[in-house]
Amino acid sequence: MTKKITAGIIGGAGYTGGETVRLLLNHPQVELKFVQSRSQAGKPLTSIHGDLVGETDLTFGADFDQPVDVLFLCLSHGESKKLLSETTFPATTHIIDLGNDFRLGDSVAGREFVYGLPEFQREKIRTAKNIANPGCFATAIQLGLLPLAKAGLLKSVHTTGITGSTGAGQKLQDTTHFTWRANNISPYKTLTHQHLGEIQQTLRSLQPAFTDNVHFIPWRGDFTRGIFVTSVLESNLSLEEANQLYKEFYASHPFTHVADSMIDMKQVVNTNKCLLYLEKIDNQLVIHSAIDNLVKGASGQAIQNMNLIFGFDETLGLKLKPIVF
């Protein structure tokens, strides 16, 4: 094994911050140097992330003055751009932003960001200095559509997806109260979800003639983590042709798999996998995709990008077991 790299986290008290801590602590090639949180400074990580009792003695820091090889930004949307415009980090530090500040190609203080969806542009990620980690819904939807876009076969897409309550972040809201969320579902941000921009950007880069939209309706689910998405579009492909197209496209990608029977969300929760399953009814192709919103949809994909940048095996530290039951 090569020498360990050093890592830091800014914004470590939230859901994605905590998930990134867990993965880095168990990564054989990483030394986690600091976890910053203004709101929790001075407290042990275990006071917020109780599952880490016995795993670490680190405390939250108020500052981030230690140089590291890779810095993970687990901040609210808009905060990463503000931080990088006000704070100078060493040019040798790779930055992986888990927010949406740089997904559409924005830069700040001379730092350019590469969109970090490995199944879309793995080779470009390997040579990237900074990464804009994709959104959770964007990951699930795009992985269901990339093979069609690459083949120039996308038509108008209608997508519905349901996500767990952790997708809304740790800050308490009316729609994250247990009494509201339990035994309940509801749509939100109909056709206007913030991930649509990055989805359209990726798909049109693969299929420039795709001028239609992805018509997306997200739902809040009665569970804590996971995303299940179903996309529907017209297609002349037979089911056999579609499955062959998808399996060939993802053959070299270790985390995205095309299943031969119907998938469910528990197969992917607590893993960095995306599972896909295709159906064909009349002239409609139906693509189901499932991911864990905090792992493949956030922190796991960030670690996957880190592995690519530093030349590690892409799966290192990410061979995780699903909860199943």
Per-residue pLDDT at 169: 56
Q: Which two tokens mark 159?
A: 């997508």
Name the residue range of residue 15's domain: 5-112
Q: Dump the DSSP string for 81-147.
A: HHHHHH----TT-EEEE-SSTTTTS--BTTB--EE--HHHHHHHHHT-SEEEPPPHHHHHHHHHHHH
Per-residue pLDDT at 182: 85
Task: Indicate whether 60 and 161 sit together in one domain.
Answer: no
Query: Into how many domains does the chain fold?
Result: 2
What CATH code is carried by the domain that includes residue 79? 3.40.50.720
Task: Indicate whether 68 and 159 sit together in one domain.
Answer: no
Q: Is residue 120 part of a domain?
A: no
Q: Is residue 238 part of a domain?
A: yes
Please determine, for residue 12, whether its predicted confidence score (pLDDT) is greater than 90: yes
Spatial distance between the Cα atoms of 90 and 254, rounded to a whole number of angstroms: 32
Task: Indicate whether 53 and 105 sit together in one domain.
Answer: yes
Per-residue pLDDT at 3: 83
Q: Mean pLDDT throughout 203-224?
A: 95
Q: Mean pLDDT throughout 166-184?
A: 70
Per-residue pLDDT at 179: 72
Residue 274 known to be catalytic: no
What order do you get walking across the sheet with 214-220 strand by strand?
A: 186-187, 214-220, 157-163, 227-234, 284-291, 274-281, 256-258
Q: Is residue 32 part of a domain?
A: yes
Per-residue pLDDT at 173: 64
Spatial distance between the Cα atoms of 278 and 162, rounded to a whole number of angstroms: 18
- Confidence (pTM): 0.95
Q: How confident is the model at residue 235 (pLDDT cuts 50, 70, 90)?
A: very high
Q: Which two tokens mark 213?
A: 């939209």
Active-site residue (options: 35, 83, 136, 318): 136
Task: Indicate whether 74 and 151 sit together in one domain.
Answer: no
Q: Which two tokens mark 85?
A: 């415009």
Q: What is the pLDDT of residues 130-170, one digit of tens each?
A: 999 999 999 999 999 999 999 999 999 999 999 998 865 55
- Which of 112, 147, 171 terminates a domain? The answer is 112
Q: What is the pLDDT of residues 262-316, one digit of tens each?
A: 999 999 999 999 999 999 999 999 999 999 999 999 999 999 999 999 999 999 9
Spatial distance between the Cα atoms of 288 and 272, rounded to a whole number of angstroms: 17
Q: Is residue 122 part of a domain?
A: no
Spatial distance between the Cα atoms of 175 and 87, rounded to a whole number of angstroms: 35
Task: Indicate whether 287 and 144 sit together in one domain.
Answer: yes
Q: Is residue 316 part of a domain?
A: no
Cβ atoms of residues 22 and 177 within 8 Å? no
Per-residue pLDDT at 1: 53
Q: Which of 74, 29, 77 is nearest to 48 (CA)?
A: 74
Kindly report which listed range (60-69, 232-241, 287-296, 304-313) carries the lowest average pLDDT score: 60-69
Task: Indicate whether 142 and 288 sit together in one domain.
Answer: yes
Q: Is residue 180 part of a domain?
A: yes
Task: Indicate whether 158 and 265 sit together in one domain.
Answer: yes
Spatial distance between the Cα atoms of 269 and 135, rounded to a whole number of angstroms: 16
3-state DSSP of 3-72: CCEEEEEECCCCHHHHHHHHHHHCCCCEEEEEEECCCCCCCEHHHCCHHHCCCCCCEEECCCCCCCCEEE
Q: Which of 64, 48, 41, 51 is nearest to 14 (CA)?
A: 48
What CATH code is carried by the domain that includes residue 249? 3.30.360.10
Q: How confident is the model at residue 174 (pLDDT cuts 50, 70, 90)?
A: low
More confident residue, 205 or 168: 205
Cβ atoms of residues 8 and 36 within 8 Å? yes
Cβ atoms of residues 231 and 158 within 8 Å? yes
Q: Which two tokens mark 12?
A: 């470590």
CA dihedral 12, 14, 20, 23 (to 10 degrees): 110
Spatial distance between the Cα atoms of 148 and 143, rounded to a whole number of angstroms: 10
Q: What are phi and psi of 242, to 5 degrees?
A: -65, -45
